[in-house]
Amino acid sequence: MNGLLQLLSDFMTDHRWLAGPAFGLIAFGESLAVIGVFIPATPILFMVGVLMGSGRVDAAPVVLFGIAGASAGYFLSWRAGERLGHHAWRLPAMTRHRRSIARARLFFRRWGGVSLVAGRYVLGPFQSMLPLVAGVARMDAPRFYCWNIMSAVVWVGLVLTPGFALGRGIEAAIFEKAWQDQIVAGLMAISVCMIFVGLVAAGTRWSH
């Protein structure tokens, strides 16, 4: 794992213009049903956040490509579920993870669209099954698009923030730039606001 992280870090640092697309592909794979189960996302995401915070890669393209990749992975998974219907649960790749898939289905049944946001943190690697579940359950497109985009924005903001903050702390200790703490605080505030929006939406849904 350490070798993979070092290889990815060196690649993104040496080819800064490809850092955004590279992270987009990682976010895409991590959000894709079945495939996302096998991607060790947490250490990779933390490492990318550190690279951003230390200025070794440009933050804007990494964040934008990350949101696009996460959204695309969920979208394709949702479409697959919509096309396959309940036949999806009889595929060989699914029968190996029946208990985890059952947990994802129960989580979606209880929380609906909110599960697409919260599930990224609650279900671990099996969060990638949630959009597939949503597709099988025939979640309508407008609702899915809304929750999918919110999920991607919140997820990218939260998973990159710890590494970003650490990277900024390291750089601040070296260069003593006063404005760095303000950037970190701003990114954290955005993440908190997105979570608040999701919780309000969830409360509105369950109040009707």
Question: Whole-number mean pLDDT of the chain?
Answer: 80
User: Is 203 a residue whose pLDDT tops 70?
Assistant: no
> Which pTM value belongs to this model?
0.77
Distance CA 162, CA 159 (A): 7
pLDDT of residue 204: 47
pLDDT of residue 191: 52
More confident residue, 204 or 117: 117
In this predicted model, what pLDDT tens digit does every residue of 74-114 receive, in sequence order? 999 999 999 988 888 888 878 777 888 888 889 898 888 88
Residue that the structure tokens 């730039």 belong to = 177
Segment among 3-7, 48-52, 176-180 with least mean pLDDT: 176-180
pLDDT of residue 35: 84
The count of residues in the chain is 208
